[in-house]
Every structure is written in C-alpha cells, then in structure tokens.
Amino acid sequence: MEKFTELTGIAVPFPMINVDTDTIIPSRWLKTIKRTGLGVGLFEALRYDDDGSEVPDFVLNKPPYRDAKILVAGANFGCGSSREHAIWALLDFGIRCVIAPVLADIFATNAAKNGVLIIKLPQADVDKLMADAERGENGRLTIDLEAEEISRPGGETIAFEIDPFVKHCLLNGLDDIALTLAKADAIDSFEDEQKVSQPWLYA
C-alpha cells in the first residue's frame, strides 16, 4: 500500500453523526472485490438524486471539495457493518485521512490496513478543524504523521496520538501481506526444517 508520511490538502466538513458504512458505500457496490472504481459510489444516497444527477448542495459536489484529501467527520463515523469497501470508496475518491471525535473500531482497523490515517481528537479540536474545512481552498490542513501533528491554515498546530504499530505500518506502507513477506526468510527456514522433521506434511 502507499506510504503515509505527510499530507497537505483540502478537508471536507462532514459533521453528520452516526454515519454508517452503508451510507459511506451502499450494499449494491459490494459485488466487486476490486479496490478501484468505488469512489463514484461514495455517499451515493446523499450525493445523487434518483435519476443519477448530482445533488448541488451536497458537499462533495461542490468544486473545492471534489479534490479533497481529508475528511473531518462527526462522532461515530464508520459504524455499522464491517465492510472494507467503505475504506476503498474513500480511498478511491482521494481521501487519505479521516478525523473525528469517535470512530468505529472495525472501520479504523480497515483504514489502517489500506493506508488511510484515522485520527481521533477531542470534540473541541474537531470543531476547530471543521471550521477550517468550511473555508474550502483557504482551509487546507497539513498532517505530519511522524510528528503526530496537524497544522491549521493560521499556523496553529494540533497534536494527536496514534498506536505505534499502526504508525509504523502507515509510514512504511506495510499491509498484512507486506508484514508477512518481511518474515519470508524465517518462514522459509521453518519450512526447510519441517520438511526434514515432518516430511509427511509435504508428501
């Protein structure tokens, strides 16, 4: 997966609370196992009318936010089912970071495994970043994962904390497969020894 080190971009203000994964990506999109092409279905029920035309007032349909890289969300974002497609849809749209006061645990785990940074902050800090996001082009944020710091447009910084293992994986672009392959020599050595001690397993 792509490494996450530092990210600067427009943030989407999305204050709605209890946004579940079905709202993020409807179940009809779950037929595919491809991680691309899902961005068009992101927030489909909110983003499009019944005839498929864009809802003009929906935030992602407004010019400043079509190229957003950060989502500042309301509490309990990503609740509901464990569908990984919700993360794939955000990532395919271009979102690499989600900030909220509370985020669903399974959603956060899926995010880390796909290179999306999840940041949990006190509501007061989220409110500041939400106000920044509402400024569109003039409210760009910079997220420094190594320093665990968010820089606001006016120069103020907000610190955040992240699990050290998740941080290591994101900084180095390590998903579950890459973590396993990093132990390839040890795995090969174990198998070589096992072929001698338990040859029937390889017959």
How confident is the model over 150-202, as pLDDT tens digits? 999 989 999 999 999 999 999 999 877 666 666 667 776 777 678 778 878 78
Residue 174: phi and psi, rounded to 5, are: -105, 110
On whether residue 128 sits in a domain, the answer given is: yes
Tell me: do 115 and 136 sit in the same domain. Answer: yes
**Using CA atoms, how far apart are residues 152 and 156, in angstroms rounded to an integer?**
5
pLDDT of 128 higher than 70 = yes
Tell me: do 91 and 130 sit in the same domain. Answer: yes
> Residue 46 belongs to what domain range?
6-172
Tell me: do 33 and 129 sit in the same domain. Answer: yes
Tell me: do 203 and 138 sit in the same domain. Answer: no
**What pTM was computed for the model?**
0.88
Tell me: do 128 and 83 sit in the same domain. Answer: yes
Tell me: do 101 and 83 sit in the same domain. Answer: yes
Tell me: do 159 and 61 sit in the same domain. Answer: yes
| Alpha-carbon torsion (42, 43, 48, 52), positive or negative | positive
On whether residue 1 sits in a domain, the answer given is: no
Name the residue among 27, 21, 25, 16 with its Cα closest to residue 81: 21
pLDDT of residue 151: 98
Least confidently predicted of 100-104, 120-124, 172-176: 172-176
Look up residue 4 and give its two tokens.
């996450």
Strands (E), 74-179: 97-100, 117-120, 141-144, 149-151, 157-159
pLDDT of residue 197: 86
As for how many domains the chain has, the answer is 2
Tell me: do 21 and 49 sit in the same domain. Answer: yes
SS3 (DSSP) at 20: strand
CB 95 within 8 A of CB 35: no
Mean pLDDT of all residues belonging to the chain: 92
pLDDT of residue 182: 66
Tell me: do 100 and 196 sit in the same domain. Answer: no
pLDDT of residue 64: 93
